[in-house]
Amino acid sequence: MTEPVLTVEDLSVRIAGLHILQGVSFTVAPTGVTVLLGRNGVGKTTTLRAVVGLTPRGGEVHGRVRMGDQSLLERPTHRLVRGGLGYVPEDRCVFAGLTVAENLRLAERRGTTAAYDRVFALFPELDRRSRQRAGSLSGGQQQMLAIGRVLLNDNRLLLVDEPTKGLAPKVVTEVAEVLKRVAESVPVLLVEQNLAVVRRLARDAVVLAAGRVAWTGDAQELLSATALTRSLLGVGSAEGHHHGSGTEPGASASTAGPAREDAR
């Protein structure tokens, strides 16, 4: 068996008195996309943040997280990033007042050669728009910039949080396509609510529920098991068709109905 690139063991996170993660354990395969799923507010973002050392101040993190043989939890984020842990946060965090080129330049690491060729091959638009202010880019273009910025450097693992959130259908497809190409060379741990995107990209799935891992296994198998997706994610079917009352209110992936099937 190949060694996982990331091993999370008994991860527990408390924030503001809430015990959000209560002993989460899973691994991320060294190739392809592993998707982290679960209903709204279950702790997917909290998991990624804990791995990369960005739990909000005052939050308590316990457990073990390893990337290869390196233990991550006690290291500061900048060290982890330098060690090859790439993170694309949910809110993209591009510098709105700076140009595309300036945003990219800020991501360069001293002592290494930034891989502009790789980034512009994946995102030719960033090259074309290099003098445009990031704040005036579309949501999709900002997402491309957020991903491109991380890809300027070599990574051992990418953590990508809801990259298609709030994007137009056509752009969702573009972002999914780019992530698929990225994942050919670097493993990705992806939080994604759009099940059409999950279907397109993911090989392995980890599902969180009630602060713990409720299911792990083959992502495609999960998506084809209607009863399972309904109980774990609150959607009737990963196909995006309504089956009976397949969209329960408040279910995270329940927004992945027909309107979100565009990424196929």
Ligand X SMILES: Nc1ncnc2c1ncn2[C@@H]1O[C@H](COP(=O)(O)OP(=O)(O)OP(=O)(O)O)[C@@H](O)[C@H]1O
- State the Cα–Cα distance between residues 95 and 90, nearest whole angstrom: 14
Q: Which residue's CB is nearer to ligand X, number 44 or number 260? A: 44
Region at 212 (left for phi over 0; alpha for psi -120 to 50; beta for the rest): beta
Binding mask 239-258 for ligand X (x = CB under 6 A): -------------x------
Least Cβ distance, residue 56 to ligand X (angstroms):
4
Binding mask 28-67 for ligand X (x = CB under 6 A): ----------x-xxxxxxx---------x-----------
- State the Cα–Cα distance between residues 126 and 131, nearest whole angstrom: 9
Can you state the angle between helices 100-107 and 139-151, rounded to 10 degrees?
30
Q: Which of 9, 18, 97, 138 binds ligand X (CB under 6 A)?
A: 18
One-letter amino acid of 191: V
Least Cβ distance, residue 46 to ligand X (angstroms):
3
Least Cβ distance, residue 12 to ligand X (angstroms):
13
Which regions of 89-236 does DSSP assign to beta strands (E)? 157-161, 188-191, 202-209, 212-218
166 binds ligand X (CB under 6 A): no
- State the Cα–Cα distance between residues 200 and 21, nearest whole angstrom: 28
3-state secondary structure labels for all residues of 159-191 = EEECCCCCCCHHHHHHHHHHHHHHCCCCCEEEE
Q: Which residue's CB is nearer to ligand X, number 87 or number 116? A: 87
Q: Which residue's CB is nearer to ligand X, number 34 or number 153? A: 34
Q: What are the residues binding ligand X (CB under 6 A)?
A: 15-16, 18, 20, 38, 40-46, 56, 252
